[in-house]
Amino acid sequence: MYNFSAGPAILPQEVFAEASEAVKDFNGIGLSILEISHRSKEFQAVMDEAVALAKELLNVPEGYEVLFLQGGASSQFMMTTMNLLGEGETVAYVDTGTWSAKAIKEAELYGNVNVIASSKEEGYDSIPKGYSVPADAKYVHLTSNNTIFGTQFQSFPDVDVPIVADMSSDIFSRSIDVSKFGIIYAGAQKNMGPSGVTMAIVKKDFVAEPVRKVPTMLNYNTHIGKGSMFNTPPVFPIYVSMLTMRWIKKHGGVDKVDALNTAKADLIYSTLDNSELFYGRAKKEDRSKMNAVFLIKDESLAPAFLEACAAAGCNGVKGHRSVGGFRASIYNAMSIGGVQKLVEVITEFEKANA
């Protein structure tokens, strides 16, 4: 079975195997990972390794802290703005889809939001170009990859203000220059681990003084000061995320993963570009390497195509309800063999129905 679901998503099989053993007996201590104390030396070692691996894999510079939080990326929509945006201050947003629109809605509760660029009128089929960030913006917020519409920032803008980025669906899929960012946040449930934990990479001097009175749990400094263990952390999702980062390191690091992701994306997009029945939804220069969204010219054939996918063991190919069509999510743990299988289905289906 090949899992092309957008999320919760595929993880490496060896991670599943090791995590399942830890549920029964963690490291031979006679207790499950689900029941050990988060204050124990055993879990502290897990947390320390998870932080160290994140810093190593993403080349996080000095002055940043890696946090493991709860509430999903959706809680970061308001937590970032609550900590950073003071009364009368302005923040810039680039609107590229559903998730950036939700982030904008939350930010509007706390300050002036300037949507400096949007691809909404074009159906979010591209990443906006040619915009400038106002000098008075406290920061600019963007969503690096858009799972629903299949677009992705291929590079990040050179701007004079910090970038705050939601990287939930492409974290650890490619190398990034962390020094460009004030905050990077990402829900785990795409490339890193199961749902239930959110990673934030925070520049410490960027959040040193919250601009308003912030509830303790929503203050980044609370979690920096307590090493992500102010309250009981999501132990199992952090453990599985740590295992996944080990797997990335074992397989050559982010650069090697990026090369494989590029090969997988090239394979599926070249197939679509040469098809007379299927076609990609996003503009070519902005296509996502994580979520290939595509449509069929004869929509009456869509149910039969999904049946063909299911028969071949390709699961989760149905597109998001707001877009329709199909979506192949090809996150880090998806093998090139899985993409080849889907390409075979596309090719054979076209031969039978052209």
Which one is catalytic: 95, 99, 170, 264? 99
Per-residue model confidence (pLDDT) at position 87? 85
CB-CB neighbours of 240 under 10 Å: 25
SS3 at position 25: coil
Query: Please, is 71 exposed, middle or buried when counting C-beta atoms within 10 Å of its C-beta (0-12, 13-18, 19+)?
Result: middle
From residue 322, how far is each of 149, 190, 292, 327 by CA, in Å? 9, 20, 15, 12
Which one is catalytic: 95, 125, 166, 286? 166
- b vs e for 250-287, b when ≥16 Cβ sit within 10 Å of the residue's Cβ? eeebbeebbebbeebbebbbebbeebebbebbbeeebb
Of 3.40.640.10, 3.80.10.10, 3.20.20.70, 1.10.1060.10, the CATH number of 13-250 is 3.40.640.10
Mean pLDDT for the stretch of residues 315-319:
96
CA angle 264, 270, 275 (to 5 degrees): 130
Beta-bridged to residue 137, according to DSSP, are: 90
Q: CA torsion, points 276, 281, 283, 288, in degrees to nearest 10? A: -110
> What are the tens digits of pLDDT across the range 140-186?
999 999 999 999 999 999 999 999 999 999 999 999 999 999 999 99
**Which pTM was predicted?**
0.96
Per-residue model confidence (pLDDT) at position 354? 77
Query: Does the annotation mark 190 as catalytic?
Result: yes
Rounded Cα distance, 156 and 275, in Å: 31
Is 298's pLDDT higher than 80? yes
Per-residue model confidence (pLDDT) at position 72? 95
Which one is catalytic: 95, 125, 170, 190? 190
Mean pLDDT for the stretch of residues 273-296:
97
Please report, in angstroms and rounded to a whole number, the separation of the first and last CA atoms in the chain: 27
SS3 at position 38: coil
Per-residue model confidence (pLDDT) at position 346? 98
Per-residue model confidence (pLDDT) at position 88? 87
Mean pLDDT for the stretch of residues 202-228:
94
At the fourth CATH level, which superfamily is domain 253-353?
Aspartate Aminotransferase, domain 1 (3.90.1150.10)
> What are the tens digits of pLDDT across the range 219-262?
999 999 999 999 999 999 999 999 999 999 999 999 999 999 99
Percent of residues, the chain, with pLDDT higher than 90:
96
> What are the tens digits of pLDDT across the range 60-73?
999 999 999 999 99
Mean pLDDT for the stretch of residues 284-290:
98
Confidence of residue 4 (pLDDT cuts 50, 70, 90): very high
Mean pLDDT for the stretch of residues 104-121:
95
| Residue ranges of domains in the chain | 13-250, 253-353
- Residue identified by tokens 């070249």 is 270
Nearest of 28, 29, 50 to residue 240 by alpha carbon:
50
Q: Are strands 112-118 and 145-146 parallel, antiparallel or unpaired?
A: unpaired
SS3 at position 73: helix
Is 119's pLDDT higher than 80? yes
**pLDDT, averaged across the chain:** 96
Nearest of 227, 250, 223, 196 to residue 46 by alpha carbon:
227
* Per-position DSSP letters for 112-165, written without gaps between them: EEEEEEE-GGGTS-S---S----TTEEEEEEESEETTTTEE-SS----SS-EEE
Query: Does the annotation mark 203 as catalytic?
Result: no
